[in-house]
Structure 1
Amino acid sequence: MSASFIGQRIKALREERKLSQDDLARLFGFKDRQTVSAIETGERRVTAEELVIAVEKLGASLDYFTDPFLLVGEGRFSWRQTNVGLQRLSAYERNAGRWIAAFRSIAPQVGREAPLLRSALGLHKGSRFEDAMEAGERFVAEFKLGDVPAARLAEVMERELGILVLHVDAFDGISGAACRLPELDVVLINRHEVVGRRHFDLAHELLHILTWDAMPPEHSEDASETSKNRVEQLANNFASAVLMPAAILDRFGDWSAIAVRELPAKLNAAADTLLVTASALKWRLVALDRLKPAAARAVPDAVLRNNGRDAAQAVTPPLFSKPFMEVIGLAVDQGRVSARRAAGLTDLTVDELGELFVTHGVPSPLEL
């Protein structure tokens, strides 16, 4: 294990316990805090004896310091949620960190290295909403997302940008999250949300990933298209443009010429085609001046809910993603992790894990 790996976890635990480097130096019996600093930055390795002291004096398990399938003191998350308490969110974040850490640790071992360079957008907090929408339109054109951008967005993010996308089981209130690691970007999406909402969350989190250094998002934000947070507003405008480019919307005809009584059916049908929500489509048309605000307000959101269909008709995507399952499958096949360990990391039984390989079209290393 690298020296920086354990050092990062010692630093994370020290900060959690509100200890100074001088406090830690006294605990370990070092002469000064410079030794602690060198350990935390990875310049100096921790000896076996010092690791035992850390376990005993800091009250943490040995796994806390040595398990590569934990995310401690490294990942920065930004959650889209509604009325989720910090304690529940933190507990879920720790669990999600296991999936991310497992992929981060295993992927290089099976030949799936992270990209050398990160893509970025030239947006910042001072950017106009029009700038964010223009960036979204350019993204669609550059990556050739086609007539239904939502259909290929996750694939482009994973295969061309190196962003890991995971569809996960999350409790009500969590829409998704972006996660930034030194060497990996991840987007989590609650797979139980309606398809249009999932795609909007995906495009929204993409903006955070592509602008993280210029305007780091808050750890937790309300999952609302009416957020007052400037960064969230820019992300919403970018997401709308990615999923609903102006040129594609214009192919549906002259929206301003449609009678108000006919608008709900037209919006619901177009939203179904584009795999977005009819409500998001309505306000995107207003932003593009294809629909007057008064006409939009005359169409109540109730008639657009689930694009006018029964929510029970929605199809839930399989857990995680194909690239994630490919890495796990290769690791099991090569003996780098046992099937039981892999199942435990994904919160599945061995049989469920085997079935998930098949669902994703990944060669299964397990005998079902």
Structure 2
Amino acid sequence: MDQTTIRRRLQGLRESRSVNQVELAEILGFNDRQTLSDIELGKRNVAPDELVRAAEYFGVDSGYFTDPFELAGEARFSWRKSSQANDLDSFEQRAGGWIATYRHLSRLKGESVNSFLARVDIHAKSSLIEAANEGEAVSRTLGLGDVPATNLATVLETKLDTLILHVDAADGISGAACQLGSLNTIIINRRESPGRRAFDMGHELFHLLTWQEMEPPHIEGGTGTSQRYRHIERLADNFSAGLLMPRQAIESLMAKSPLPKNGEATWAAWIKDAASKLCVSGPAMKWRLVSLGLLKKAAAERIEDASLRLETRAGSHSLPPQFSRCFVENLGWGIEQGHLSVRRAARVMGTTVDDLSALFTEHGLKTPYDL
């Protein structure tokens, strides 16, 4: 591990524990605060015995400062989860290991880990219509095509260098946005329905695009969330709606199959068909029609969401491969080059050596070791 990361982790831990430089300098055996200040400014390296003393003082393993396959308070996560989700801290630690591994191996390969994400002109006082319009503009700029949901993950990876990870998340966790320095990651629960996965991806993209202006909470929609944060979440939802269901795409559907004139059952059938063609959920399509002024809100409220659902959860036949191809390729390269052992790779992925082999097979890649 390079000294830059070590000093950042040391400083981050000191600040998170509300320990001032004078206190920590004394613990590390320095004569004055200036020595620790020089370390945090990158003017002096940290000696191994000093790291050991710091680890003992803070009650962490010494690998906390040096392990490149773990994150140590460096990343910022924003999770979408329901109230019944359990043990989020443990899952976040696992996710941090995946992202840290990708970053470390990419650097060893000499590849950039700098995601390219332009900012969008949306702020906390923006209207929901403005957010939806911005989503449409981003969809056009990225060239997401006639069915944006089917192209979104690939485009984010190839054009914006954003890491997309489809994972088996714990129940109640839909996904997350994560910023690790200049590396942006979107985590998606692959066991959600396809329409939900795409909408969550658009929602998390909004947070990455507006993070500096409107940093999202660690847990979206959690208890005690302020009115400001609730509005930001609605902005994210409307951005995602515009991104995945742009007006032009809906007008194209209307040209082939005109909107019904009345009747909840007729409307429900049209909405379900349109949602299926754009690979989004029926309820999302319904409220997008309302926002475009194509369906009155009162009429929409009479159409029960249950009648619009295409499926509740994805079947095994439609699950996307775990993680992503670029992530698994990176992992295979690291094993082949000896940068991490097979067993270490399996631990990072939270699986067995045999199941790790299945991960490569799932992506059509050769297993980089003999079973």
For the criterion TM > 0.5, the same-fold answer is yes
2:15 is aligned to: 15
Structure 1 residue 116 displacement after superposition: 7.1
In 2, the alpha carbon distance for the partners of 1:150 and 1:117 equals: 20
Work out the CA distance in 1 between the residues paired with 2:72 and 2:314.
38
What does residue 242 of structure 1 align with?
243
Question: 2:187 corresponds to which residue?
Answer: 188
Partners of 1:155 and 1:198 lie apart in 2 by 14
Indicate the residue corresponding to 1:299 in structure 2. Answer: 303
Match of 2:341 in 1: 338
Q: Give 1:49 shift.
A: 2.3
State the partner residue of 1:172.
Answer: 171
Deviations 1:238-289 (A, max 9, x none): 1001111111112222436253221222211221221111001100100000
State the secondary structure of the residue aligned to 2:70: coil
Q: Is the 8 A contact 1:80 1:222 kept in 2?
A: yes
May I ask how many residue pairs the two structures share in their alignment?
364
> Which deviations, in whole Å up to 9, do the C-alpha atoms of 1:142-178 show, x marking residues without a partner?
1211111000100011111011010112111111110
Q: Shift of residue 189 of structure 1?
A: 0.7
Please list every run of 5 or more consecutive structure 2 residues that lacks an aligned counterpart in the other structure: none
Normalising by the residue count of structure 2, what TM-score does the alignment of the two structures yield? 0.91
Task: Please say if residues 208 and 235 of structure 1, whose CA atoms lie closer than 8 Å, have aligned partners that are also in contact.
Answer: yes
8 Å Cα contact 2:207/2:236 also seen in 1: yes
Please provide the CA RMSD for this pair.
2.3
Query: Would the aligned equivalents of 2:194 and 2:314 in 1 still touch at CA under 8 Å?
Result: no
C-alpha distance 114-127 of structure 1, shift in aligned 2 (>3 A): same
Please state if 1:273 is matched with 2:272.
Answer: no
**What is the CA-CA distance between 1:26 and the residue it aligns to?**
1.6
Deviation of residue 125 (structure 1)? Answer: 1.6
Distance verdict in 2 for CA 1:57–1:174, change over 3 Å: same
Identity of aligned residues (%): 44
Q: Do structure 1's residue 129 and structure 2's residue 132 form an aligned pair?
A: no
Tell me what 1:257 maps to.
Answer: 261
2:291 to 287, 310, 316: 287
Matched residue, 1:76: 76
Show structure 1 runs of 5+ residues with no match.
Answer: none
Letter in 2 for 1:261: A
Corresponding residue of 1:366:
369
Q: 75-84 or 198-207, which moves further after superposition?
A: 75-84
Whole-Å Cα distance in 2 between the matches of residues 102 and 261 of structure 1? 50
The Cα shift of 1:131 comes to: 2.0
Would the aligned equivalents of 2:115 and 2:183 in 1 still touch at CA under 8 Å?
no
Q: Secondary structure at the match of 1:318?
A: coil
Cα shift at 1:72: 0.9
Residues 276 and 116 (structure 1), Cα distance of their counterparts in 2 relative to 1, 3 Å cut: closer
Within 2, Cα distance between the matches of 1:30 and 1:45?
13
* Contact 2:192/2:314, CA 8 A, preserved across alignment: no
Return the offset for 1:16.
Answer: 4.0
| Most deviating of 353-362 and 269-278 | 353-362
Q: What amino acid sits opposite 1:13 in the alignment?
A: L
One-letter code aligned to 1:103: Y
Equivalent-residue separation in structure 2 for 1:99 and 1:337 (angstroms): 13
Q: Which runs of 4+ in 1 moved over 4 A?
A: 309-314
Worse-matched range after superposition: 344-353 or 97-106 = 344-353
